[in-house]
Amino acid sequence: MSADDYLVSIEEVQETLDAIRTGNVDAVIVHGPQGLQLFRLEGPDQPFRAFVENIQEGAITLLADGTIAYANTFFADLVGKPVKEVIGVPLARFVEPESRASLENLVREGLRGKVKGELRLAIDGGVIPIQLTLGKLTAESCCCVVVDLRAHHKAEEADMARRAAVEATRAKDQFLAVLSHELRSPLNTVLGWAQILSSDTTLNATAKRAADAILRGARTQASLINDLLDISRIIAGKMNLEMGQLDLGGLVEAQLASFEPLVADRQITLNRSLCAGDTAVYGDAVRLQQILTNLLTNALKFTEKGGSVDVTLESDEESLRLTVKDTGIGMSADLAARVFDVFHQGGSSERRKGGLGLGLAIARQLAEAHGGTLTVASEGEGKGTAFTLTLARSKTLKTHSDRFVPQGELAGLSVLVVDDDADTLDLTRTMLERAGAMTIAASNAEEALDVIGKNTFDLVVSDIGLPRQDGLSLMREIRASGNDVPAVAVTGFAGLYDARAVVSAGFQKHLAKPVDATALVRAAAEITQKS
């Protein structure tokens, strides 16, 4: 060996020792008497190396040309290769062709400092999106952390889908609200004036018959609109219940009384057997009334002239059971199994007597929302049908001496009526004035604020969907001025403004169009304590 060769060997040995001393090598292969032997080196940084080897992210060392000098097990598993088949291989070999130019730029930047970028690995199992974070190790190498972005992308897609679903629901709610307004507002005028005409004793027989027909048609249309909006709220899980303690027996009695004219017109016998004593339940009076209305309407619809409808209210220690049984056309077992399905009206032409097939579906959903059940029984076609509503009993019902008794009397009340629709404004004023109130009209919020600033009122009846400044904003401004005048909100935007938002703005009552004259007068009397 020449002196020069000897010096070179000494330098190589010195470099190897320096590398071992500084921790730049993990193992040394020695060629000795026993052949090639691998010695793994351990030092103070061994725990860190174990950490890098076991983290759930890829960790690699890249040379300046992009060759992998080190790779942990996670990265090897990510590309589907053993570690030994990864080390010494250019990283570009595992990257899809479209990403290789970006990889070169990242390695170039990584040799100078920290840089981050996203690429796509192309492996046998498909394409894997990854994020690379590179940092300088030496002038000729850089370290790199590889993050699998598949889970992150899935989370982003799920979040985007959730946002899209929320937006779709919001758009649907907005559409239903606008549709409700556009349908209810003109219907409000038709129904209101039909009520007024129908109660006019000066009409001749033909005009009275026409007014009654218009009134029935308007009420049917209003019922269809309400059913569509209710089922959409139920499906969306947005059906709000105003729960309280109430007398189910009294509620049934009131509903039966309201159906007496229809029963007489259809020449059907209505029998009732209501248990005596405590019939208190905990529920939403309006929604329970809706269930009863659906059951009674259904029974009368499918019972022929001369038939009968039996309404029975029974009780035991735990529950109250209301059964509405008719002698009508009945139903098959197959129909009974599907009668509560949405939009289902049965297969026979006898059962297709108008409607959308929503009433019973809504009734069952409302029963279940009260913690109760609604079931059906029929012995077959032509043998009648019985629907049974079961509700849990409540504690003894408290009595209230100030319970409202409708009298249709608002004598002496000064009322501000606010609505941008001239026909509706005229109708609302007429309804209130026929009950004895004195009214002043305003067609928008600005006009209303001007009028209320110059006059004292006992009541404000305002539409919600006003132009420029809506009814909620109007009422907030009235309340902010210190005026506590009682107020009733009237709107065709059913579903957009719920009762809580209306009450929060300062209204005491909320009525949806089309407004029934009796309901309007009752609400006005209740909040002004005119009974």
Residues 393-441 pLDDT 10s: 875 444 433 333 334 468 888 999 999 888 888 888 888 888 888 999 9
Please return the burial class of 88, using the count of CB atoms within 10 Å of its CB with bins 0-12, 13-18 and 19+. exposed
Give dist(CA 479, CA 468) in Å, integer.
19
CA distances (Å), origin 528, targets 459, 499, 506 = 7, 19, 15
CA 253, 256, 261, 265 dihedral sign is negative
Give dist(CA 486, CA 479) in Å, integer.
10
Q: Would you state the structure tokens that stand for residue 444, as one six-digit string?
A: 């928008």
Q: What pLDDT sits at residue 402?
A: 36
Q: What pLDDT sits at residue 415?
A: 93
Q: In 3D, which of 282, 317, 315 has the Cα closest to residue 394?
A: 282
Q: What pLDDT sits at residue 351?
A: 46
CA distances (Å), origin 372, targets 273, 281, 322 = 21, 11, 11
Q: Which domains does the chain have, with CATH numbers?
A: 1-41 (no CATH), 45-148 (3.30.450.20), 244-392 (3.30.565.10), 414-527 (3.40.50.2300)
Q: What pLDDT sits at residue 400?
A: 37
280-283 and 269-274 beta bridge pairing: unpaired
Give the count of alpha carbons within 13 A of 102, CB side only.
15
Determine how many CB atoms are found less than 10 A away from the CB of residue 486: 21
Q: In 3D, which of 482, 488, 492 has the Cα closest to residue 461?
A: 488
Give dist(CA 43, CA 20) in Å, integer.
10
DSSP secondary structure of 404-473: -------TT-EEEEE-S-HHHHHHHHHHHHHTT-EEEEESSHHHHHHHHHHS--SEEEEES--SSS-HHH
Q: What pLDDT sits at residue 460?
A: 95
58-63 and 509-512 beta bridge pairing: unpaired
Give dist(CA 376, CA 324) in Å, integer.
10
Give dist(CA 104, CA 121) in Å, integer.
14
Determine how many CB atoms are found less than 10 A away from the CB of residue 480: 9
Q: What pLDDT sits at residue 401?
A: 35
Q: What pLDDT sits at residue 37?
A: 57
Q: What pLDDT sits at residue 235?
A: 60
Q: Residue 237 — left, alpha, or beta (φ > 0 → left; ψ -120 to 50 → alpha)? A: left
Model pTM? 0.44
* Size of the chain in residues: 531
Give dist(CA 342, CA 357) in Å, integer.
6
Q: In 3D, which of 326, 292, 293 has the Cα closest to residue 307?
A: 326
Distance of CA 367 to the CA centre of its chain: 20
Sequence letter at residue 351? R
Give dist(CA 26, CA 451) in Å, integer.
89
**Can you point out the beta strands (E) in 42-114?**
58-63, 68-71
Question: How do the pLDDT tens digits run along the chain, 531 residues long?
Answer: 454 554 445 566 556 655 655 556 666 565 556 665 555 555 545 555 666 676 788 888 899 999 998 888 889 989 888 988 888 999 999 998 888 898 999 999 999 888 999 989 988 868 899 999 998 888 888 888 899 988 888 888 888 888 887 787 677 666 766 666 677 778 888 888 888 888 888 888 888 888 888 887 777 777 767 766 666 666 655 566 777 888 898 889 888 888 888 888 889 999 999 888 888 888 888 788 888 988 998 888 888 888 999 999 998 888 899 999 999 888 888 888 888 876 555 544 444 454 556 778 888 888 888 889 999 998 888 888 999 999 988 754 444 333 333 344 688 889 999 998 888 888 888 888 888 889 999 999 999 999 998 889 999 999 988 888 999 999 999 999 999 999 999 877 655 456 678 888 999 988 877 787 878 888 888 888 743
Phi, then psi, of 246 in degrees rounded to 5: -150, 165
DSSP 397: P
